[in-house]
Structure 1
Amino acid sequence: MTVDVRSGRDGPGLERVVGALDDDACREIVSALDEPMSAQEVADSADVPLSTTYRKLDKLTDASLVNEETEVRPDGHHRSRYVVDFERIVVELDEGREFDLDLERPRDTPEGRLANMWSEVRRET
């Protein structure tokens, strides 16, 4: 079973996480994301083509390893920023000889919770 340690909810699944981490470009992107960045900034920092960066960011987001946040701007032209959304990944073999994956998440700040809430609203509309 995959568990998100911060929320206690079921996580994204071992296959998605391992699949994303088995991808060289995805690992380059995770390594480059030391602060919130736009897709263009990620592409430049990770030295990955922009079209590939978008695909890999989607893959990392689906695996719950990267979070897409919305930067709210006064001019109304909001933009997406991406952040790494884990501190540690633990894969182990449990007593039933099944693989177990735990994702340890960073603690949410009030700003982070607001950004996550805004991102959820955007996804639903």
Structure 2
Amino acid sequence: MSQRQQRRRENEHGLEIDAALALLGDDYAQEILAVLIENPATAKELTERCPGSRVTIYRRLNRLEDAGLVETEIRIRSDGNHCERYRLAVEKITVSITEDGFESELRPSDEE
């Protein structure tokens, strides 16, 4: 089993550690996460509050969601249209370097 497969198996919450670490070093992703710490937000709200084009924000949101750092919630409006809001999926990430590679622990946002 490769180290990559081992890391994935060890993380039961779906956090893709390689992708998450890369995103945490990205300025646009950091801005998005900083806004989402305060409250869930729509993509439109994020484009208004974060630097970068609409396309850049959507791309980072997709990458953040794929990495397991952000999740979406869909709300149905009274007019029947839906609104997709993004929220943090993870409250805390701890990464340890071991002889076998990386180990990660996380605390999901909804845990107290």
Q: Give the structure-2-normalised TM-score.
A: 0.81
What residue number does 1:75 align with? 79
- Equivalents in 1 of 2:51, 2:17: separation in Å? 27
Deviations 1:59-116 (A, max 9, x none): 100011111110121211001111111111100023x3311112211226xxxxxxxx
SS in 2 for 1:87: strand
Give 1:58-69 correspondences, 5 Å limit. 58-69=62-73
| Letter in structure 1 aligned against 2:105 | D
Deviations 1:14-68 (A, max 9, x none): 2111121121100111001121111010111112221111000001000111111
- Equivalents in 1 of 2:68, 2:46: separation in Å? 17
| Letter in structure 1 aligned against 2:100 | R
The answer as to 2:109 corresponding to 1:106 is yes
The 4+ residue runs of structure 1 with deviation greater than 6 A are none
Q: How many residues align?
A: 103
Cα deviation, residue 10, structure 1? 5.0
- Contact map agreement 1:11 1:103 (CA 8 A) in 2: no
Gaps of 5+ in 2: 1-6
Q: Give the structure-1-normalised TM-score.
A: 0.74
Superposed CA RMSD in Å reads 1.7
What residue number does 2:21 align with? 18
Task: Choose between structure 1 and 2: higher strand proportion.
Answer: 2
- Equivalents in 1 of 2:47, 2:35: separation in Å? 9
Cα deviation, residue 13, structure 1? 2.4
SS in 2 for 1:29: helix
Give the % identical residues.
Answer: 30
| Letter in structure 2 aligned against 1:73 | R
- Contact map agreement 2:88 2:109 (CA 8 A) in 1: no
